[in-house]
Structure formats: structure tokens, C-alpha cells
Amino acid sequence: MNVVNGKIVFNEGSVKRDVNRVLVTGGCGFIGSHLTDRLLREGNDVIVVDSCFSGHKDNISQHFGNPRFEFIRHDIIEPILVEVDQIYHLASPASPVFYQDNGIKTIKTNMLGTLNMLGLAKRTGAVMLMASTSEIYGDPTVHPQTEEYWGNVNPIGIRSCYDEGKRIAETLCFEYFRQNQTNIRVARIFNTYGPRMLENDGRVISNFVVQALRKKPLTVYGDGSQSRSFCYVDDTVDGLIRLMNSDCPGPINIGNPTEYSILQLAQTIQKMIDPSSEVTFKPLPTDDPQKRKPDISKARKLLNWEPTITLEDGLKKTIADFQARIR
């Protein structure tokens, strides 16, 4: 890659290109498909690699026929050879319902899948962005969570396949960085929501919205005092793109610092969709983190990034999307 007259020029053998070739693993999924839309809008060549385990081809079918776009159905635990300049590595189930469905597969995806993407980055010289997660902080004893906090994770519980899978993925990234000077970016993504979430995804916003639209009681687990901080998907995607194009290896928190209790969230969605809907209380799942809120000082300073979309505005778009899709 060279800069000529202020423009980045990529070298492909002896052929000079001015188009960035980007690989998005997990590009059929919720965040990956929004990222793919934006990368294509901005003139990149995009290759999506996805096994369609928890994502749907429908999310990217609008790009079929676009010569700048390719889709490869492939399980990332197997090696793959493609020539690219940037890798956004998002392939991994993200919802507890999906990642606990086959915990061993979740570990393989995060361990072997990340190893393969780092091997690819090492061979091609591509920049590799790892979609890590706030779950690496576990049930945090530090609040809000800064990147310096090492976390409080149960290594053998029902969430461990995901939490520890992402922790080993981060460890791999930093070993490749130290040993091979692989160009890495580690994003710790906090709870993200928006259009295209699956109705059976199991995460809290999709559950509450679908329940309220179907006139079913909203299922609050525990007493609803546990908290989360919800980031609209366009903000998350913007943070990931800024991180990729920075020179910061991370780790860096990408999330919205406005914190809500789960009961507050239920009441907000209830008010927006159907004030007469009911709230019902169910047992709290094992190892459910009690609070979560990102400290985003680092992202503000190094990426000049912060979320811009309020929960209410983001929920309006999410509700409209579900309204159009479900009955």
C-alpha cells in the first residue's frame, strides 16, 4: 500500500489498484451485514465469508449482482485463501441462545477461526480487526469498564464458551502482533441493537420488541435491576470503521455509555409499542452480568468517536423493522 497524491494506492502484483479489498467474516449476520452495506457504499470491494449459522443470506441479497461484492459460504474454522487488504473478523454467534446451542463450536469458531484470520493477515499483510466483546469483562467488579480492567469471567460456566473464546481470540491477536508484527485492531463491542436482529435471537431488545408487538408479556429475567448500555448498529459500525482506519491496535471499547436497567428498558419499549402490555418476571440465567457500561474515553480520544443515536431513536427504527417483518 502506498500513498500517491494523498490517495491510497494498493499494489496487486504489478497491477496498481485504488480500491480497497475487504473481507468481512460473519457478513450475513446482524452487525456484519450493516458493515457490508456501508463498505460497499463507500466504494470498497467486499468479500463476505459466512457459514450462515446464525445469519441469513437475505441480509446481503441486495448486493447479489454487484461486481464489487462476493459471497463465499464457508466455515471459518477451516483455512481459506483470499487476497485482501483489510479483514473485519465478525464470524461468531453473539446471542447467548445461539452461542450456547453448541458451545464447542463457539470455542472452535473463536479460536480456530481467529487463528485462520490472523494467518491470512500475516500472509497477505492485511489489517485484521477482531470483533471482541464486553463479555471478556465477565460479571465486572469495575464500573464503568475501562480497557485496563482484566475482567471477572467464570472459566467453566454456561457463558464461558463465548467469553473465554473471545479472550483467547484477543490473546492470539496480541501474540501475532508481538511475534509477527501482524497489523491488528481489537474492538470490544458492547450490546448492539437495530434492524435485522433475528426475531428468535434471544437477546433482550429483540425479545421485548417482538413480545410487545405480538401482545405477549415482556419477559424480564430476575428482578430487572441488572443493567446494560445499548448502542445502535450504525454507531457501532462507524466505530469499527474508524478503528480499522486508525493506527491503534486496541483493545478499545465500542459502545454507548448510557446505562439502563433491564426493567427500565422493558418499560420504555412497553410505552413505545403498547402501554397495556404486561411484564412478567422469569429466573435470572446463571452468571448473568449484574452491570455493564463502557468507558469510551479511549475511543473518544483516539478515534474521535462516540455514539450519536439515542435509545429512543434507535428503538423507533428497530421497531419499524420488526413491524415490517413479523406478524
Q: What residues line the site for ligand NAD (CB under 6 A)?
A: 26, 28-32, 50-55, 75-77, 90-94, 98, 109, 113, 131, 133, 189, 191-192
Q: Among 75, 274, 288, 306, indicate the residue that binds ligand UDP (CB under 6 A).
A: 288
Stretch that binds ligand UDP, among 64-72, 119-127, 253-261, 306-314 (CB under 6 A): 119-127
Binding track, positions 40-79, relative to ligand UDP; x by CB under 6 A: ---------------------------------------x
Does 193 participate in catalysis according to the annotation?
no
Nearer to ligand UDP, 122 or 214 (CB): 122
Nearer to ligand NAD, 20 or 54 (CB): 54
Applying CB under 6 A, does 144 fall inside the site for ligand UDP?
A: no
Q: Alpha-carbon torsion 8, 13, 16, 19, what sign?
A: negative
> Cβ 177 to ligand NAD, closest distance in Å?
19
Q: Which residue is nearest to ligand UDP (CB)?
A: 119
Q: Which stretch binds ligand UDP (CB under 6 A): 8-16, 25-33, 57-65, 117-125?
A: 117-125
Among the listed residues 88, 162, 193, 232, the single catalytic one is 162
| Partner that binds at residue 115, options ligand NAD, ligand UDP, none, CB closer than 5 to 8 Å by kind | ligand UDP
Pick what 29 binds: ligand UDP, ligand NAD, none; C-beta below 5 to 8 Å, kind-dependent. Answer: ligand NAD
Residues at the site binding ligand UDP, with contacts judged by CB under 6 A: 79-81, 96, 115-116, 119-120, 122-123, 191, 203-204, 207, 219-221, 226, 228, 262, 285, 288
- Residues annotated as catalytic are 162
